[in-house]
Chains A and B, each alone.
Chain A
């Protein structure tokens, strides 16, 4: 049991660490890699945490998670980006160093916020806020998708850590919806690339008052 909780902590730390490292990566493949790593840790977390909660069969859900988030989503994004010959260098409002600084601030904030919440879901709040921040500080479409999926990871972490997992069908349903969303976003980003020849959200500022 001691090893299980140790693994649990390792996975928690890993999820968060990789997510933070991802924040500052200016190139698409690196960013996707770290997202995959973070999601992988999350899948590990699902296994350990479910075992700690005393459930027998966490492996299916973890496997689905790994398949969708670690393999499928980055692949789809990479494929979409390659297909339209998108530039692998991403644009941002905040430089990587500044982003890391803000990420640290967000970690602090999430400590305070999660202390107010029952069970102190530190990891999930941090992931959700990091995801939000990621969407705000980055200019390109892929980062927004990844930011959104980071948020979803945070929610999944909350589900796993606080509630001990969803019912199987619901979990699958949620994953399905999230992945459909990601696919849709990837499709849309392809259209944007085709129309504007750039994956930059600055081109998407026509609809104003």
Chain B
């Protein structure tokens, strides 16, 4: 069976979708474009899934003369990411059909659809190209189209966020480019396989430099602290289906690139590199989760949660690198497997959550959690699926993320005794931090769901929320179902991925430690279902229906208002207090007495200033330095012609002096 035809067909379909949206008349063709995109990406998803199931390890798609003969191919790893990308993109396009129509007057629909198709095409291309030139071409296509997508609503805030994103991603792309080209030396159009051979002969310092370049390039795209600053600005500003694609899939492109570069191109030499990755990973996890807890903007919470999740994934990869440099291939293998599993899980639950956030924002007319609430009564099925997604994001069993963390931690503990004391120390630190992060992530997700969905609505808009349209809800349900599926079938999935082919030129045995884990997730899931059923049945049987009387919540006889409810700010207050060294929050309470005579009765305005320490410490000084230099340099152009002539003269003299 030749899948390459279908993969090409999928690419062509995506391109066609972009073209159709360009030539379609204003206000028409949106549905056609999105349907086309859903079909083409669906086809891609099916083709890559069938390829994964078929057990092949390599699939040459096309060997064209374009892009300096970049070979287009799928390996197991890229097929996995290709599957994730296409699945999420397919669901996102279905979601977009109705979602975009709601905002037809804000967005330029034609451009939005066209850019979305180009964005998906860029990501597909990144995964398929296996030579630096094609990879970077599509990488840039992906970056620039997402830049325009972030500023789709043209608000000042969006444009600012998009520009910040642009500079980071452009610097990142520059770093990746430099990394590739340093490795390739004079043969700059060779495929990755050749790069790996060339890399063997480079001195260790150069390789370390290249590694740092890749870490910055891919890390800035993946949102690793301290290169993450753009992410919580850019992801929330995009339309929700784009946020879902960016957070759910685009971050995975960075992960994919990093995995390919570190494990199949660069030879692993020292544990220093691994320690750097672990440090950045842990830092991102902790930093991301703290802000996920204290943020009140629902899409920013999710964005920070993405930083946290990417932090965990990079920590796992860092551990894999560390133990691989110690020669423990099996454990490294498992850690990568866990990271991939987490990545799959994250792709599904995070895009589901972002799409759900789109529904919430549409219902509440605001992104702030403080005006939401009460959705569970108004849209119960949707709320149920969001609960599943939120629990998955909190890494609770039996959902997918939990399986990944569990596999990882279990193996870590099991292998701890065989390591040198230093590495033991590092791994224990990893363990402790991951436990902390897990706890806080739970806190963040409870806040998201508890404040957003439960209790009474906190605003007029939220009170009139209606269940979303079926076309909007179905993708979210599908993602929730996928999340459960991934969690329940984790071992099976891992065995399909078969890490033997993580890289095409390195043979790893497929001995899956996960499958032998002491805790079988399926059993666990069954036990949970059974428990749930037992409790449910017991309650039904044992409780006496006659004495039940539905009544509103009792509050000392007063009417219940939403003003009495717990707010997101208050809920996160302890954590904020605990981490105020890092978060530098500034709380302002302005009390103005209602009656001049009585200071006790006052109206209070509470505001909270959330600051980003990295932004203040790292980015603002750089920005100021650049602007200052620019202001100085501009003095060259002072309008005095004598000065200009003198400049020519000086240039002549200096060149003569230096050159001769």
Contact = CB atoms under 8 A, between A and B. Distances in A.
A–B direct touch in complex (beta carbons closer than 8 A): yes
Interface of A: 93, 113, 116, 132, 135-139, 144, 201-202, 204-209
B642 A206 contact: no
B203 interface: no
B638 A205 contact: yes
A150 to B, nearest CB: 13
Contacts of B638: 205, 208
Contact of A135 (B634, B637, B645, B656): B645
Nearest to A205: B639
A137 B646 CA distance: 10
Interface string B629-660: 00000110111111001101100000010001
A136 B635 CA distance: 18
Contacts of B639: 204-208
Contact of B642 (A116, A139, A207, A208): A139
Contacts of B646: 136
Contacts of A205: 638-640
Interface residues on B, range: 10 to 19
Given A116-B660, A135-B645, A136-B649, A209 B640 contact: no
A80 B119 CA distance: 63
A113 B646 CA distance: 18
A129 B585 CA distance: 64
B642 A135 contact: yes
* Leading 10 A-B pairs by shortest Cβ distance: A205-B639, A209-B634, A208-B639, A209-B637, A136-B642, A135-B645, A136-B646, A136-B645, A132-B649, A201-B641
Nearest to B642: A136
Contacts of B634: 209
Contacts of A201: 640-642
Given A132-B649, A139-B642, 7 more contacts: A116-B660, A135-B642, A201-B642, A205-B640, A206-B639, A209-B635, A209-B637
A107 to B, nearest CB: 16
Nearest to A132: B649
A6 B660 CA distance: 35
B657 to A, nearest CB: 11
Nearest to B649: A132
A204 B641 CA distance: 8
Contact of B637 (A132, A202, A204, A208): A208
16 contacts: A113-B656, A116-B660, A132-B645, A132-B648, A135-B642, A136-B642, A136-B646, A137-B642, A138-B642, A204-B641, A205-B638, A206-B639, A207-B639, A208-B638, A208-B639, A209-B637
A206 B638 CA distance: 9
Nearest to A113: B656
A207 B634 CA distance: 12
B588 to A, nearest CB: 40
A202 B637 CA distance: 14
B640 to A, nearest CB: 6
Contacts of B649: 132, 136
B309 to A, nearest CB: 46
Nearest to B641: A201
A205 B649 CA distance: 20
A139 B640 CA distance: 10
A113 B645 CA distance: 19
